[in-house]
Amino acid sequence: MITTLEALIETFSDDMAQYATQLAQHLANAFWRVQQADEENDDDDDDTAALAAYGCVRTIGTLLEAVSTLPHLYPQACCWVLGVCIYITQQTPHTQQSQSPPTQ
């Protein structure tokens, strides 16, 4: 489903402005749900959650790229995306994934 959403964003990038903030919010929330489910799952060999999280982040990037000519939308979208970015940059292969999503 994320791949389809990403394709829609790319195809209709000129019309994404009105949906950008809500999409960013939903994609960030989906990322946090996947991360939480992955933390609850002790199966280290299952990459499904990592792939789903990657799909969310990739689609967020596509969304931000689609509205890149509309910088006034960035502050609204970034309030949702920034927590995801901070979480990702603080993770290393040896870091425990015990952080929870930022409260809004």
Task: Looking at the chain, list the stretches that DSSP marks H as alpha helix, in order from N- to C-terminal side.
Answer: 2-11, 20-40, 48-66, 74-90
Tell me which residue range forms the domain holding 29: 2-90
Residue 100: partners with Cβ closer than 8 Å, 6 or more residues away: 36
User: Per-residue pLDDT for 14 more than 60?
Assistant: yes
Specify if 24 maps to a domain.
Answer: yes
Vertex 91: Cα angle to 86 and 95 (nearest 5):
140
Mean pLDDT of the region 62-91? 85
Flag whether 71 is in a domain: yes
Model pTM score: 0.74
* Residue 8 placed within a domain: yes
Residue 95 lies in a domain: no
Domain assignment present for 43: yes
Total domains in the chain come to 1
